[in-house]
Amino acid sequence: MRLALMIEGQEGVTWAQWCALADACERHGIDTLFRSDHYLSPDSETDVGLDAWTTIAALAARTTTLRLGTLVSPVTFRHPGLLANAAATADHASQGRIELGLGAGWLEREHRAFGFPFPALGVRLEMLAEQLEIVHRLWTEERVDFRGTHYSLEQAPGVRTVQEPHPPLLVGGSGRRGTAEPAARFADEYNCGYVSPDDFAAARARVLATCERHGRDPATIRFSLMTCCIIGATRADALERARELHRAQASATAFDDWLQELTATGLIGSVDEVAERLHAYERAGCGRVMLQHLLHTDLESIELIGRELAPRLT
């Protein structure tokens, strides 16, 4: 099982902090850094995130080994032609270290604030299917004609990337038809968020069945999980970090109740405890876990993940 770090950039992460996070990942052997693609925090009216793809391109130019990607970019934010070119630009800046995650988008208040359209979920899922196809085709074909419900391209030239045949494409979802169908056709990886090992296995089974219906070899699609991780050298250390996060979020829920809810699908505990939990996901068919690191100024946890946790999973 592989591990990646996932940062919620809209939670006030500054450029200096992004640099420190990327440096810590490279220093401690974490091979991929994902970031959310949001402009507003779900929990704050004032926290505005730095633009995801601009941040990734800038980090790509100042790192040497670290892979970088979004988890996930809402289809409502960018035209697929723009997105394909932006991600390809970052792929060139990094010399081939970019991954693109796509999703339907969900935070309505954020869309209203910045003037992004926010149609009904069914429409957003249609947009997801079209965007995924368009980006895939722009990266793999010399010329693209596309006539869809939401997008049209007329003899668009292909967008060259460094990675062959193209940077990895991820789709986020729960294994339901709206995301499983386009993923089975065009995605390299399917990602589930905040689910138990049993629910992960069920979502994976639904996507694999969809692949078979489309005639795709199920062995050619990978599966990953994104979930919160609060880790310590000991359980007491982890709980102290959990208390720090609880204070930082100014949660109105009592700590014990908050922790119980987070533990249902999150990874909280000592290195050994987190490793044991990860093995349960591995048995459910998970090949990679994006560890959501919410205390983004805490670089010691990144060292624990890279130097202590990762070796227990090889």
Query: What is residue 46's three-state secondary structure?
Result: coil
pLDDT tens-digit series, residues 55-108:
999 999 999 999 999 999 999 999 999 999 999 999 999 999 999 999 999 999
Q: What is the structure's pLDDT at 252?
A: 85
Q: What is the structure's pLDDT at 222?
A: 98
CA–CA separation, 227 and 28 (whole Å): 20
Q: What is the structure's pLDDT at 44?
A: 76
Average pLDDT on 250-274 reads: 94
pLDDT tens-digit series, residues 277-304:
999 999 999 999 999 999 999 999 999 9
The DSSP output letter for 312 is G
How many domains does the chain fold into?
A: 1
Give me 196's structure tokens.
């138990």
Q: What is the structure's pLDDT at 146?
A: 98
159, pLDDT greater than 80: yes
Lowest mean pLDDT among 71-75, 123-127, 133-137, 247-251: 247-251
- 129: domain CATH number? 3.20.20.30
pLDDT tens-digit series, residues 164-213:
999 999 999 999 999 999 999 999 999 999 999 999 999 999 999 999 99
Name 192's bridge partners. Answer: 225
pLDDT category of residue 314 using cuts at 50, 70 and 90: confident
Q: How far is CA 88 from CA 133, 151, 157, 159, 246, in A?
A: 15, 20, 13, 7, 38
Q: What is the structure's pLDDT at 298?
A: 98
Query: What is residue 308's three-state secondary structure?
Result: helix
Integer Rg of the chain from CA:
19
CA–CA separation, 123 and 127 (whole Å): 6
Q: What is the structure's pLDDT at 45?
A: 73
Query: H-type helices in 120-270, by residue range?
Result: 121-140, 177-186, 197-213, 235-249, 255-263
Of 282 and 48, the one with more pLDDT: 282
Query: What is residue 297's three-state secondary structure?
Result: coil
Taking alpha carbons only, the member of 46, 174, 187 closest to residue 113 is: 46
Length in residues, the chain? 314
Q: What is the structure's pLDDT at 231?
A: 98
Give me 129's structure tokens.
């299917």
Lowest mean pLDDT among 111-120, 150-159, 178-187, 248-257: 248-257
Average pLDDT on 238-266 reads: 94
47, pLDDT greater than 80: no
Average pLDDT on 6-16 reads: 96
4, 30 Cβ separation under 8 angstroms: yes
Count CB neighbours of 279 within 10 A.
15
20, pLDDT greater than 90: yes
- For the chain, report the end-to-end CA distance as a whole number of angstroms: 6
What are the DSSP E strand ranges found in the chain? 2-7, 32-35, 67-70, 73-74, 98-103, 143-147, 152-157, 169-172, 189-193, 222-232, 267-270, 288-292
Q: What is the structure's pLDDT at 250?
A: 84
Q: What is the structure's pLDDT at 303?
A: 98
Q: What is the structure's pLDDT at 43?
A: 82
- Mean pLDDT, the chain, integer: 96
- Percent of the chain at pLDDT exceeding 90: 95
Average pLDDT on 231-239 reads: 97
Structural domain range at position 6: 2-313
